[in-house]
């Protein structure tokens, strides 16, 4: 895989400078190749394998994921992080209970959480994992009528073991998003204008180093993805492709390009989240060498 500094030769799409795009030194153009040459990296086991992560590993990833998708409003309630973000995305509008809520009993703690979400006109929602504290929290919330809203798998990989190929589609990677990137994000995701605007605010709040990748076919952005670097972890988010360009290895090219960028910045491990029912996405990531580390689910007031 060739990472070419944008000061060199690049396609006409780049020469025309996408509106609102910055040109930091860390911007790259990932050159496409018809030869589909594989890099000299180990081929991982493509069979999906579940690795039961220890609670401290889950906490490390979830804390990094929280920093990579920052909510507009947050409140630390002892070991629980309360997040509100105008109702857009479950993660940014839920409690992350990675520690205990002090010495208070769960009845009192839940009332404090409910007050916070009432102030923000949102339902009470918890993001639950095997590392949630205290250990009886999930059964307690179930007894209080909070139902499971969604289940998500978290996949991880040692980036040195990921299968990297020269992308079949040209991919540009900038240090910030630009107009075409957001336009494709909205169109490919089917999001409304207000929801897209709130997601844009989340991305602009990210303080960690980030990479915004876009697959280009002709002069058109057809798919996008976001990578966020947090110490040795590279988080992959918002990987979407316009419907008419799916099954053309657009998502694969974007994912590999973001991983190539992450490796160039010193990332060692990668993680991403995929809905439990999204079999096609899971197979894509298993094929690249990711494996299931753990899962999380949301409990919410009906």
209 touches 261 (CB < 8 A): no
pLDDT at 49: 46
Is 84 inside a domain boundary? yes
Worst-scoring range by mean pLDDT, 60-69, 202-211, 243-252? 243-252
Does 300 reside within a domain? no
The answer, yes or no, to whether residue 288 has pLDDT greater than 60, is yes
Query: Three-state SS across 177-215?
Result: CCHHHHHHHHHHHCCCHHHHHHHHHHHHHCCCCEEEEEE
In a domain, 132, yes or no: yes
Bridge-based pairing of strands 269-275 and 233-241 is: parallel
In angstroms, the Cα distances linking 68 to 11, 106, 231, 240 are 30, 29, 12, 18
What percentage of the chain reaches a pLDDT higher than 90? Answer: 71
- How many residues does the structure list for the chain? 302
Q: How confident is the model over 85-111, as a mean pLDDT?
A: 95
Quote the pLDDT of residue 232. Answer: 95
pLDDT tens digits for 136-156? 999 999 999 999 999 999 999
Q: How far apart, in Å, are the Cα atoms of 47 and each of 182, 256, 292?
A: 34, 19, 11
60 lies in the same domain as 14 = no
The pLDDT of residue 104: 85
Judgement on whether residues 42 and 90 belong to the same structural domain of the protein: no
- Domain co-membership, 202 together with 286: yes
What whole-number distance in Å separates Cα of residue 167 and Cα of residue 169?
5
Tell me what pLDDT residue 25 has. 29
pLDDT confidence bin for 292, thresholds 50/70/90: very high
pLDDT bucket at 51, cuts 50 / 70 / 90: low
CB 128 within 8 A of CB 299: yes
Do 192 and 252 reside in the same domain of the chain?
yes
d(CA 28, CA 5): 5
Q: Are residues 110 and 216 in the same domain?
A: no
pTM here?
0.84
In this prediction, residue 36 carries a pLDDT of 35
* 243 in a structural domain: yes
**The pLDDT of residue 123:** 98
Q: Is residue 301 part of a domain?
A: no
User: Per the domain annotation, does 237 fall within a domain?
Assistant: yes
Residue 267 has pLDDT above 80, yes or no: yes
Same domain, yes or no, for 144 and 169? no
Does 115 share its domain with 163? no
**Counting Cβ atoms within 10 Å, is residue 15 exposed (0-12), middle (13-18) or buried (19+)?**
exposed
Mean pLDDT of 149-174: 88
Residue 90 lies inside a defined structural domain of this protein = yes
Name the least confident of 16-30, 164-178, 256-270: 16-30
Lowest-pLDDT range of 12-26, 98-112, 151-165, 174-188: 12-26
Among 126, 152, 178, the domain boundary falls at 152
Q: Quick one: 172 and 289 in the same domain?
A: yes
Tell me how far apart the alpha carbons of residues 233 and 91 are, in angstroms, rounded to a whole number: 19
Among 152, 168, 184, the domain boundary falls at: 152
pLDDT at 158: 94
**Domain presence at residue 302:** no
Cis peptide before 134 (omega within 30 of 0): yes
| Domain termination site, one of 96, 117, 152 | 152
Q: What is the largest CA-CA distance in the chain?
A: 63
pLDDT value, residue 37:
35
**Are 177 and 218 in the same domain?**
yes
More reliable by pLDDT, 135 or 218: 135
- Judge if 20 and 89 occupy the same domain: no
Q: Residue 24: is its pLDDT beyond 50?
A: no
Supply the mean pLDDT for the chain.
Answer: 84
Domain CATH for 246:
3.40.630.30
pLDDT at 218: 82
Confidence grade of residue 163 (pLDDT, cut at 50, 70, 90) = confident
Same domain for 80 and 108: yes
Cα–Cα dist 24/146, whole Å: 46
- 91/160 same-domain check: no
Asked if residue 117 has pLDDT above 70, the reply is yes
Number of independent structural domains in the chain: 2
10 pLDDT above the threshold of 50: no
Q: Which domain holds residue 285?
A: 3-48+156-295
Q: How far apart are CA 298 and CA 116, in angstroms?
A: 17
User: What is the C-alpha to C-alpha distance for residues 15 and 55, in angstroms, rounded to an integer?
Assistant: 48
């Amino acid at each position: 895989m060739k990472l070419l500094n944008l000061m060199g030769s690049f396609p006409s799409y780049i020469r025309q400078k996408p509106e609102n795009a910055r040109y930091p030194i860390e911007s790259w153009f990932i050159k496409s190749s018809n030869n589909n040459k594989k890099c000299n990296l180990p081929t991982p086991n493509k069979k999906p394998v579940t690795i039961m992560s220890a609670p401290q590993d889950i906490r490390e990833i979830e804390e990094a994921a929280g920093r990579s998708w920052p909510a507009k409003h947050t409140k630390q309630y002892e070991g629980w992080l309360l997040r509100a973000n105008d109702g857009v995305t479950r993660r940014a509008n839920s409690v992350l209970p990675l520690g205990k809520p002090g010495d208070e009993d769960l009845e009192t703690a839940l009332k404090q959480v409910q007050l916070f979400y009432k102030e923000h006109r949102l339902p009470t929602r918890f993001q639950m994992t095997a590392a949630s504290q205290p250990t009886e929290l999930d059964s307690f919330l179930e007894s209080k009528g909070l139902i499971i809203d969604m289940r998500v798998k978290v996949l991880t990989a040692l980036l040195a073991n990921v299968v990297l190929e020269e992308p079949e589609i040209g991919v540009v990677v900038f240090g910030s998003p630009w107009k075409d990137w957001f336009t494709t994000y909205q169109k490919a995701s089917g999001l409304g204008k207000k929801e897209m605007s709130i997601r844009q605010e989340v991305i602009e709040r990210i303080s960690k180093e980030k990479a915004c990748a876009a697959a280009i076919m002709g002069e058109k952005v057809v798919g996008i993805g976001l990578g966020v670097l947090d110490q040795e972890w590279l988080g992959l988010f918002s990987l979407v492709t316009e419907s008419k360009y799916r099954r053309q290895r657009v998502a694969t090219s974007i994912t590999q390009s973001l991983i190539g960028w992450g490796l160039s910045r010193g990332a060692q491990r990668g993680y991403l989240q995929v809905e439990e029912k999204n079999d096609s996405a899971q197979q894509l990531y298993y094929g690249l060498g990711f494996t299931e580390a753990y899962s999380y689910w949301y409990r919410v007031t009906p």
